[in-house]
Amino acid sequence: MTSMRRGGFTLIELLVVIAIIAVLIGLLVPAVQKVREAANRMQCTNNLKQLGLAAMNYESTNGHIPPSAIFDVTPNIAPPYPGIAHSWAPSLLPYIEQDALYKVYNMKYPWGSSPSIVPGTPDNQAVLKNQIKTFLCPSSPGGNNRTCSGTSIGLPYSGLAPTDYATCTSINSGSITFFGYPATATSTTLASSMQFQVRGPAAVVAAYGLTASEPNRIASILDGTTNTILICEDAGRPFEYIGRTLKSSTSRGDGAWGNHENDYGLDGCVSMNSQSGPGNFVINATNDNETYSFHTGGANLVFTDGHVAFAKESMSPTTYAALITARGAGMTPAETSPSTD
């Protein structure tokens, strides 16, 4: 019988070979994806490093750390707009080789300024439509095709380019005791290194529900620049994610790099699939005003001294809070030598 058999494969042999190939591909594909993700993460680290250095250069020139947002209601400053408002991003443009954009962006008018809203005013919105690579993490789905729309301080905007990086400016007032700080502390005492700059007559400022404030100097970072986060990842906007699930593809319009509301306060989330705070999950639970990235297991952060670190999702929430505050020294046990490890 064997002598009659011609060279060929039986069905079983074929199936075995196919199964082996399938297993090999199954092993190979995740490996390739991992390499791609590692490259993306490195690019993201590099972006944050650039932003950290840009902030340091800004500090050398101006004598203070860039404010997370600017709001100026000094009378007659930007008529007919109520005042000027900017995010942290435009002031860093000259330091990330975007001087050309900085020159056309008018710092004397609000970021929402556009001749289509008030004829004759500069078109800041046109500048903010430019995608800037340094503000985008390559791991974020949607890449360059994402645009942000909405309304802010009464000015409608659309088609603006997003940022995957933003600053976590403080700990929100409802979550202060959760992170172990005394109830007497406020979002102002627990502010981070980039803080708001609010200017104008006290009465006008108060009518907006604010108090006047100036940006930090290096000397006012009492916890040390190595222990204070400058900029975090809040990736994926304008899409809104809970855990890894897409909830909406438009709702986070505040993610435009020029929107003064693109920063956020820390609350944490009850679980990795929840948006309600406070909670023990401070990284990658949601990109709705929390630190969020598409990297597996954590997010990149740049500190006020310019070093970039990868913070794990499993990191202690109180340690994370300690890294956010610029002047929390001694307030909680975690404030002594906080570290991302």
Partner 1 sequence: MRFFFVMAFIPAFILCGCAGNDRPPVLKASGEVTVGGKPVDGALVVFHPQGKERERDVKPFAKTDDQGKFNLSTYAQDDGAPEGDYAITIVWNKPGGPEPKMSFTGEGGPKAGPDRLNGRFGTPSATPLKKTVKKGDANEFKFELK
Residue numbers of the site for partner 1 (CB under 8 A)? 16, 19-20, 23, 68-69, 71, 85, 152-153, 169, 172-174, 177-178, 180, 182-184, 187, 196, 207-210, 254, 259-265, 270-271, 274, 278-280, 289, 316-319, 332-334
Closest approach of Cβ 14 to partner 1, in Å?
12
List the structure tokens of 195: 């803080």
Q: Min. distance of Cβ 45 from partner 1 in angstroms? A: 25
| Distance in angstroms between the alpha carbons of the first and the last residue of the chain | 69
In angstroms, give the least distance from the CB of 219 to partner 1.
Answer: 24
Nearer to partner 1, 157 or 306 (CB): 157
As a dihedral over the C-alpha atoms of residue 38, residue 40, residue 44, residue 50, rounded to 10 degrees, the angle is: 100
- Residue 215, preceding bond cis, omega within 30 degrees? no
* 264 vs 303, beta carbon nearer partner 1: 264
43 versus 316: smaller Cβ distance to partner 1: 316
- Find the shortest distance in angstroms from Cβ 43 to partner 1: 26
Handedness of CA 161, 300, 293, 188 (dihedral sign): negative
State how far the Cα of 193 lies from the Cα of 65, in Å rounded to an integer. 7
Q: Pick the closer one to partner 1 by CB: 130 or 280.
A: 280
**Least distance CB 224 / partner 1 (angstroms):** 18
Residues 294 and 246: their CA atoms lie apart, in Å, by 12
What value, to the nearest 5°, has the Cα angle with vertex 323 and ends 148 and 222?
A: 115
Q: Shortest approach of partner 1 to residue 304 CB, angstroms?
A: 19
Q: Which helix (H) or strand (E) holds 25?
A: helix 11-62
Nearer to partner 1, 167 or 304 (CB): 167
Residue 95 or residue 196: which is nearer to partner 1 going by CB?
Answer: 196
Task: Decide whether 196 or 239 has the Cβ nearer to partner 1.
Answer: 196
Strands (E), the chain: 69-72, 84-87, 148-152, 155-160, 165-166, 168-171, 197-199, 229-233, 240-242, 245-248, 264-266, 298-303, 308-312
Question: CA-to-CA distance for 274 and 282, rounded, in angstroms?
Answer: 11
Radius of gyration of the chain (CA): 24
The least CB distance from residue 329 to partner 1, in Å, is 14
Identity of the residue, 126 or 204, whose beta carbon is nearer to partner 1 in the bound complex: 204
Min dist. Cβ of residue 237 to partner 1 (A)? 10
Residue 162 structure tokens = 């997003």
